[in-house]
Amino acid sequence: METQIYKRHNAGWQATTAVLMPEGRVLEIRTSKTRTGLVSRAQVYKIEGYMKSYVLFGDYSVALLESDKRATEKSVMDLHRAALARIDDTLAAAKAFYEAKEAKQ
């Protein structure tokens, strides 16, 4: 699990961490600026070749934490670290999401 922090010219500071899951899935925690502050989101996608594949309303995606702070490097990393502190619960929720989805089929 490696965290990357970077600044994009149009979106400001962002932090991402990717965690491998079973069946070729990847759980990504991303912290970035929104119109009202900062948000840390968890999203699961598959890697297919060189592409990320995500099904809208079909793959796991949830906002973990929000903050009304400005998007400075420090505030982005602080919120991202707080989201990563919940990584075990987030992984368990994502696994439960896919187990329930498989049970329906």
Parse the chain into domains and list their residue ranges.
Answer: 3-96
CB-neighbour burial class of residue 15 (10 A; exposed 0-12, middle 13-18, buried 19+):
buried
Two structure tokens written together for 83: 């989201």
* Phi–psi pair at 99, nearest 5 degrees: -65, -45
Instruction: Write the pLDDT tens digit of every residue in 57-90.
Output: 889 999 999 999 988 999 999 999 999 999 999 9
Q: What is the pLDDT of residue 22?
A: 85
Instruction: Write the pLDDT tens digit of every residue in 12-53.
Output: 899 999 999 988 899 999 999 988 899 999 999 998 888 889
This prediction's pTM: 0.88
The answer to whether 78 and 39 are in contact (CB under 8 A) is no
